Amino acid sequence: MEAVTTRNAQILAIDAGGTMTDTFIIDDNGEFVVGKAQSTPEDESIGLLNSARDALTYWNTTVEEEFPKLLAGVYSGTAMLNRLVSRKGRRVGLIVNKGMEDFHRMGRAIQAYLGYSYSDRLHLNTHRYDPPLVPRELTRGVTERVDLFGNVVIPLYEHEVEPAVLDLLEQDVEAIVISLLHSYKYPQHERKIRDIAKEVMKKVGKEVPVFASVDYYPVRKESHRTNTTIIEAYAADPSRETLSKIDNMLRNHGAKFDLRVMASHGGTISTRANELARTLVSGPIGGVVGAKYLGEQLGIRNIACSDIGGTSFDMALITQGDLSINTSPDMARLVLSLPLVSMDTVGAGAGSFVRVDPNFKSLTLGPDSAGSRVGVCYPEGGIETVTVTDCHVVLGLINPDNFLGGEVKLYPERAYEALKKQVADPLGLSVEDAAYGVIDLLESQLRNYLESMILGKGYSPSQYVCFSYGGGGPLHTAGYTKGLGFEDVLVPAWAAGFSAFGCGAADFEYRYDKTLDINVNNGDEDSSKLKAGKELQDAWDELIEKVAAEFEKNNFKRQDVSFRLYFRMQYQGQLNDLEIESPIQKFKDINDWEELVKAFEETYARIYAKAAKSPELGYSITGAIVRGIVEVAKPKIPEEPLSGETPPSEAFLGQRDVYWKGEWIKANIWEMEKLKPGNKIGAFSILESPATTFVIPPGFETYLDEHRIFHLKEL
């Protein structure tokens, strides 16, 4: 054990899952420890404190000793998403255009089949509408109409607003949302309703928060915009309470920093941010941000991210060092207006249930899972259906006495019996062959998902380095990358806490978007190009003010912030626009217009092909974006001297029987933490660490580099 004085904790990164809360604590040398504890949904700060205490025992120090030294803390969690999925939010009232009272319920019709398989999408009888976040009886219409160009067709009937607000207050709403058609082009009416509502509340002495969509998400597509603003009132605002409890707990233990939260666009924002719904999904994004940061440190530009947890397989691509952002994603069966890191998620993880289809006698995996309760082998029971982890235990891939560092003892005999009854006997196979078949099926499915994601974007795996992480990733890395021909396959030694590591590596960043409709025809005069540029610059100026105001809440002055300008552009008449970083800092003259077009066409040619360029159609600027970034402390990547290829004898833990391709073979077991940079390990080997297990099967070898990253090589 080390002496207490040798550590200087700098960064605390928190990943509060539905089951376990992970903390990742980094010191001034960039070294880190990972702690785990059960999550405590009623007060997340308790689980977080327990998890931090667990992490610091590895350094033989305490929370009281280390928290006052921390420079930064970043939180990511699932509480808000769980509140939304389980529909346990605030009672919200909605004010819309008269005659449009049902559009929120209709959800653009696509909400009826979101999350369904292709076959179910085709059959109308399987579609269903979830109850809307705001029921019809809490929706009120007021007369007004603005057309798609922002012209007032019918002025706002102000005398209708007061009765609508009074009506909602009598129904005991806890918040009011205002969302009108095309308000992003003409925001005055929504703001007028907001101001009248506040006056009415003062008059009757009953005040609830009011959310006008233009103050939050001034973007096109009213279903997306309305859903996102409702989530702000319904689920995000109540989450401030959770975050302030965590903030208070940290301060009570001596921390002096402002807590930040992982946001959907891949940066971190303050707990006091205006738009907290951006933190709705934060867990898996941490992993992608961590991969981008690690790639930047190692000079790797193209990365295929793959993350296996207990319930899902999350994939994302980083191309030329950039994440792609989806501005109209869907989540929890709702269409939204949030900038979200583009990811593909499949319901196949280590806890996924394994079943035999009684009609076709074929294996099916997931999409439901045992989550935290692992499988039939879990000591506390409660799970009847066999999971992928039960197969790992039967095959000897996982040490049942060293699960989560020995905190949880698994029961292989329970897994064996259940597997025999549910899978092996119905298929007429031995238990071992059935278990091996499950793993083989899982890995070939994951391999197909990963390959199709890359090929579907017009690239080839040989152009990418694959990063594998998550608690379950290293178990299957060899299986799902086999034969794909990646340039390299990397497994960080800290794979199990990689999402929390990503939170620690994320910039302190705010991003604001605004929808525009600026068209410049082919052959237009310079005057129309200058007018377009001025309109874009006005939007950037407005967004810079919003970003600067958010940073001011955290006592950062404007000169501390570096502003990055982006725009969205497309050829007129085409469906898809592209998000491009602006090559100019301020629009001044006609040369700047040419620069914008050139940046767009270069990106377009890279994504679609040079031959697809269509300048004769003219150009449309569809959006302005500003990202403000403040430099914060980041984790250092480990750097250790290289040793020889032969691993030290104290890292060898002995041998274990493993069933592989029809026979029992002896596998060498190694303790991951005791391996030295430069070590090479061949098959068949299993590398064990408290939170993950890395399998090196026949046909593979691995090499540990000076950054404590394993390179998996196909022989």
Check whether residue 620 and residue 705 sit in a common domain.
no
Residue with tokens 């060293």: 402
Q: CA-CA distance, 583 to 295, in Å (whole number)?
A: 24
pLDDT band of 4, cuts 50, 70, 90: very low
Alpha helices in 217-269 (DSSP H): 222-231, 237-252
Q: What is the pLDDT of residue 3?
A: 42
Q: What is the pLDDT of residue 26?
A: 83
Q: What is the pLDDT of residue 6?
A: 67
Check whether residue 456 and residue 532 sit in a common domain.
no
Q: CA-CA distance, 128 to 248, in Å (whole number)?
A: 42
Question: Which of the given ranges, 112-126, 164-178, 351-365, has the highest pLDDT on average?
Answer: 164-178
Looking at per-residue confidence, does 370 or 183 come out higher? Answer: 183
Which among 195, 214, 236 is the end of a domain?
236
For residue range 58-97, what is the model confidence (pLDDT) as tens digits?
A: 899 999 999 999 888 999 877 777 778 778 889 999 999 9
Check whether residue 655 and residue 618 sit in a common domain.
no
**Is 362 part of any domain?**
yes
- Dihedral through CA 543, CA 287, CA 313, CA 330, nearest 10? -10
pLDDT band of 501, cuts 50, 70, 90: confident
What mean pLDDT, rounded, does the chain reach?
Answer: 90
Question: Which of the given ranges, 34-48, 259-273, 306-320, 647-661, has the highest pLDDT on average?
Answer: 647-661
CATH of the domain at 604: 3.30.1490
Looking at per-residue confidence, does 472 or 172 come out higher? Answer: 172
Provide mean pLDDT across the span 136-144: 97
Check whether residue 541 and residue 395 sit in a common domain.
no
For residue range 197-220, what is the model confidence (pLDDT) as tens digits?
A: 999 999 999 999 999 999 998 998
Q: What angle do CA 567, 568, 569 make, to 5 degrees?
A: 115
For residue range 522-544, what is the model confidence (pLDDT) as tens digits?
A: 999 999 999 999 999 999 999 99
**Is 211 part of any domain?**
yes
Q: What is the pLDDT of residue 1?
A: 39
Q: What angle do CA 698, 300, 264 make, to 5 degrees?
A: 100
Q: CA-CA distance, 707 to 32, in Å (whole number)?
A: 13
Check whether residue 688 and residue 600 sit in a common domain.
no
Check whether residue 460 and residue 552 sit in a common domain.
no
Supply the DSSP symbol for 566: E
Which among 582, 600, 630 is the end of a domain?
630
**Is 531 part of any domain?**
yes
Looking at per-residue confidence, does 638 or 164 come out higher? Answer: 164
Check whether residue 615 and residue 670 sit in a common domain.
no
pLDDT band of 16, cuts 50, 70, 90: confident
Q: CA-CA distance, 454 to 344, in Å (whole number)?
A: 11
Looking at per-residue confidence, does 316 or 242 come out higher? Answer: 316
- Structural domain total, the chain: 4
Q: Say what percent of the chain tops pLDDT 90.
A: 61
pLDDT band of 479, cuts 50, 70, 90: very high
End-to-end Cα distance, the chain: 40
Check whether residue 683 and residue 565 sit in a common domain.
no
Per-residue tokens: 564 = 């990055």
Check whether residue 338 and residue 226 sit in a common domain.
no
pLDDT band of 371, cuts 50, 70, 90: low
Residue with tokens 């109209």: 328
Provide mean pLDDT across the span 272-277: 86
Position 471 pLDDT exceeds 90: no
Q: What is the pLDDT of residue 155?
A: 98
**Is 19 part of any domain?**
no
**Is 61 part of any domain?**
no
For residue range 150-183, what is the model confidence (pLDDT) as tens digits?
A: 999 999 999 999 999 999 999 999 999 999 999 9
Give the global pTM. Answer: 0.85
What's the domain range around 559?
A: 508-630
Residue 119: partners with Cβ closer than 8 Å, 6 or more residues away: none
Which among 213, 236, 259 is the end of a domain?
236
Q: Judge residue 705's burial from the number of C-beta atoms within 10 Å of its C-beta, 0-12 exposed, 13-18 middle, 19 or more buried.
A: middle
Interstrand relation of 72-77 and 152-154 (parallel, antiparallel or unpaired): unpaired
Provide mean pLDDT across the span 299-313: 89
Check whether residue 329 and residue 420 sit in a common domain.
yes
Question: Which of 147-156, 260-269, 486-495 has the least mean pLDDT?
Answer: 260-269
pLDDT band of 361, cuts 50, 70, 90: confident
Three-state DSSP class for 177?
A: strand
Answer for the pair 488, 304: CB distance below 8 angstroms, yes or no. Answer: no
Alpha helices in 320-430 (DSSP H): 388-395, 412-419, 425-427
Provide mean pLDDT across the span 226-243: 89
Q: What angle do CA 695, 698, 704 make, to 5 degrees?
A: 50
Three-state DSSP class for 586?
A: coil
Provide mean pLDDT across the span 5-32: 79
Q: CA-CA distance, 490 to 125, in Å (whole number)?
A: 45
**Is 546 part of any domain?**
yes
**Is 707 part of any domain?**
yes
Check whether residue 467 and residue 514 sit in a common domain.
no
Check whether residue 477 and residue 564 sit in a common domain.
no
Q: Is the peptide bond before 103 cis (omega within 30 degrees of 0)?
A: no
Radius of gyration of the chain (CA): 27
**Is 271 part of any domain?**
no
